[in-house]
Amino acid sequence: MAAVSEPAVTAQAGVVITGGAGFLGSRLARQLLATGTISIGGEPARAISRLTLVDQAQVPGDLAADERVSVVSGGLGSVFGSGPGGRDLGILDGAELIFHLAAAVSAECEADFDLGMRANVHATESLLESCRALGTGPVVAFASSIAVFGGSAEHPLPAVIEDSTLPNPQSSYGAQKVICEQLLADYTRKGFVRGRAMRLMTVSVRPGRPNGAATGFLSGIIREPLAGQRAICPVEPDVPVALASPAKAIAALLGAGTSSDEAWGGRSAVNMPALSVTVADLVAGLERAAGPATTALIDWVPDALTSRLMASWPARFESERAAGLGLTPDPDIDSIIAMHIEETGWRQ
């Protein structure tokens, strides 16, 4: 009598996204759910059994309705903190990959130092301590920023940022990201987690309402005019910027979470590839796509704080480590604007 074969068992994996209700977090969640599988740290792909979204904001309805999604409401300090009700390790139960996106953004961190320290540094430490207590060494893909770089009198900003360029933050936000990178690196050295910090470029075009980022205008001067609304550009047209489309930012985060330790190449952060353009290039691309009546809706009103922050951040990168992970920059500004137009269904 022939033996009856047992049904194949599909290996499963749990994934957590902090900041899962945000723009990048929700976009990443949708892509993971659509794919249905994930390769964690270079291992064979497995089905996603549970996707946990942690955020103090409300998770979009389509994500909350998915049976694979578990929603945890609250800030990271309360969810993973060591105080009463904190450090609920059940949230991380079965999680082998954590995308850490939750953060306060640049301009609000500059305006409110305590907010930045609480939402960025202390929350990240709480998350890492929870991972340590878990005892399973999950992969933690951290969304860092190019704000870790900057120029000062003693250390001028180089013309091109390379993988070996040392951070020199000139803002509270940038300093907080450096602190988190180093925490992640040391928790990795100790074997508590497998940490990967990916430094994201300014993401444009972000749909929806503006956030508190100093670079938010780089989306606003495209998004608002296409919607027939006026937009303010707070810097001069010749200001250089390093951009990435939402799709490229998601690809960079996935590259951090799915690459093997050998491919990742160490504990230091990776600079994702950038499209280097000027603000004038961005406006010219909008005019090619939507005409001069659209760009006429942009008001050029200089802002000292935004101009200072933008001047302190680099715009040109050579990202060899990212290229080794298969990551590439956007080809041009026209493709970024075309992607936004297609996703929003804009018609002239």
Q: Which residues are catalytic?
A: 173
- Specify whether the CB–CB gap between 221 and 273 falls below 8 A: no
Instruction: Please give the distance of CA 214 from its chain centroid, rounded to a whole number.
Output: 15
What residues pair up with 300 in beta bridges, in sequence order? 233
Query: Cα 294 to chain center, whole Å?
Result: 29
CA distances from 170 to 84, 146, 147, 148, 151 (A): 36, 11, 8, 8, 7
Residue 60 structure tokens: 């979009």
Phi/psi for 196 (5° steps) reads: -140, 115
Q: CA separation (Å) from 328 to 111, 155, 215, 254, 321?
A: 34, 29, 22, 13, 11
- Which of 178, 171, 116, 107 minimizes the C-alpha distance to 144? 178
What number of other Cβ atoms are within 10 A of residue 220's Cβ? 22
Phi, psi of 287 (to 5 degrees): -65, -40
Whole-angstrom distance, CA of residue 87 vs CA of residue 93:
12
